[in-house]
Amino acid sequence: MKGKRIICCHNDMGLRAKCRAFSILEVIVAMVILGVGMIAILAAMRSSANASHHSRMQTRAVLIAETQLVNTRLTDLTSYMTTQGQSKDGRFNWQVQIAPTSKENLGRVQVTVNWQEGHRKNNYDLISFAQMKSFEQTNP
């Protein structure tokens, strides 16, 4: 038999039988394929973990922006202004800017949330409009 290794082994009855075994080259090739597959799986897991972390941070930024928008709408909006602050853990900075529009008594509310992941700076902008109270109504 050309190219095949044959070794002798015993079967259950104690008789000699011909058995096929793997050559060292086949074992090395199998180990290399297994190693490459493991590296690919680990890279995919790391990429998935990074994407999950970024998604979690972006979700927090959205929640902070929505919270600031609700807080702004709950106040009596009588003037155009800019306020800013920071999340409790210090990872996120936010800014609320209320600007005039072409429509009377309507303000443009823009909430910007900034955060940093490693060396990459990220931001999320939320823009809405709010009814402004007339200055004549607040100052009789």
What is the SS3 string spanning 25-58?
HHHHHHHHHHHHHHHHHHHHHHHHHHHHHHHHHH
pLDDT of 38 > 80? The answer is yes
Per residue in 51-89, pLDDT tens? 999 999 999 999 999 999 999 888 877 788 899 999 999
**Residue 59 is part of a domain; what is its CATH number?**
3.30.1300.30
Q: Is 65 exposed, middle or buried (CB count within 10 Å of its CB: 0-12, 13-18, 19+)?
A: buried
pLDDT at 73: 86
Express as a percent the part of the chain with pLDDT over 70: 81
pLDDT at 8: 56
Residue 1 lies in a domain: no
pLDDT of 15 > 90? The answer is no
| Domain extent for 108 | 6-138
Number of residues written out for the chain: 140
pLDDT at 62: 97
What integer best gives the mean pLDDT of the chain? Answer: 84
Residue 104 lies in a domain: yes
Q: Are 99 and 80 in contact (CB under 8 A)?
A: yes
Number of domains in the chain: 1
Q: Which amino acid is at 30?
A: A
Residue with tokens 């011909």: 18
Q: Which amino acid is at 54?
A: H
Confidence of residue 136 (pLDDT cuts 50, 70, 90): very low
pLDDT at 21: 73
